[in-house]
Amino acid sequence: MAGILYIVPTPVGNLEDMTFRAIRVLQEADLILAEDTRTSSVLLKHYQIEGRLESHHKFNEHKTASIIKERILSGMNVALISDAGTPGISDPGFLLARTCIEEGIEVQTLPGATAFVPALVSSGFPCDKFCFEGFLPQKKGRQSRLAELAQETRTMVFYESPFRLVKTLEQFSQVFGPERGCSVAREISKKFEEHRRGSLEEVLGWFREHEPKGEIVIIVEGAEFKKEKKVYHKADRDDED
């Protein structure tokens, strides 16, 4: 009898964001696949999970997906985790899930942590309809994609590196307009979590003077979102040392 592929979200910051079910599944799995075994070992040790651990990342997933598929078909229950958040959301996971589904293997994805949801809900922009763009192309196709998004009416969600944040905000300001509202969430669920809200021009000005660090989620309002009154948290207005 074939086993099951479990896709297991892990905390994006605070280790307390791990669910009881996720802990149980990892404890019971015959094999745990991790994006980086060194990073995941910290989490597993914290919860006293001693299962067999192997690497599964973007550089080897095409090679290992078929091997893992055969193991599951032989009866193994396999759990897939990434460094943080839900596998498949800008992390390895899609290829293995599709391979297993095509083979008729049961795939169970546990609900749990992902960085963009708290960033989106905390932005103050409509989140009943939104589009998730993840990481934009760094070079080829980037400008054309931005041009397409200029008229997007839904709230837009982007991931970005802190090293490219200022450049990306500059491009957003040029394409979407400097008055378009945005929220930059940094270090979600960690000690120094920060949400910087305002127009693209205002937020860009802040990060030009304050070097960003950590994981970044950018939320940009849709083209037709109208606000009667802008409301910002006190923390968004106060300067920081």
Tell me: the pLDDT tens digits for 87-108? 999 888 999 999 999 999 999 9
Say which CATH superfamily domain 4-109 falls into: Tetrapyrrole methylase, N-terminal domain (3.40.1010.10)
Cα separation, 30 vs 44, in Å, equals 14
Phi then psi for residue 93, to 5 deg, are 155, -35
Distance CA 126, CA 220 (A): 10
User: Per-domain residue ranges for the chain?
Assistant: 4-109, 116-237
The alpha carbon of 128 is separated from its chain's Cα centroid by a whole number of angstroms, namely 18
| Calpha distance 126→151 (Å, rounded) | 16
Question: Does the pLDDT value for residue 189 go beyond 80?
Answer: yes
- For domain 116-237, give its CATH number from 3.30.950.10, 3.30.300.30, 3.40.1280.10, 3.40.50.300: 3.30.950.10
Mean pLDDT, rounded, for 56-85: 93
Contact 12, 115 (CB under 8 A): yes
DSSP string spanning 121-155? HHT-S--SSEEEEESPPSSTTHHHHHHHHTT--SE
In contact, 108 and 87? CB cutoff 8 Å: no
**Which residue did the predictor score with more confidence, 102 or 226?**
102
- Side chain identity at residue 89, one-letter code: I
Residue 225, pLDDT above cutoff 70? no
3-state class (DSSP) for residue 179: coil
Torsion of the alpha carbons at 96, 98, 104 and 109, rounded to the nearest 10: 70
DSSP-derived 3-state class of residue 54: strand
Evaluate whether 4-109 and 116-237 have a shared fold: no
Over the stretch 110-166, which tens digit does the pLDDT of each residue have? 999 999 999 999 999 999 999 999 999 998 999 999 999 999 999 999 999 999 999
- 62 has a pLDDT exceeding 80: yes
Return the beta strands (E) in the chain as ranges.
4-7, 31-34, 53-55, 78-81, 106-109, 130-134, 155-160, 181-186, 194-199, 216-220
Check residues 5 and 91 and name the one with the higher pLDDT.
Answer: 5
Please say if the pLDDT value at position 228 is more than 70.
Answer: no
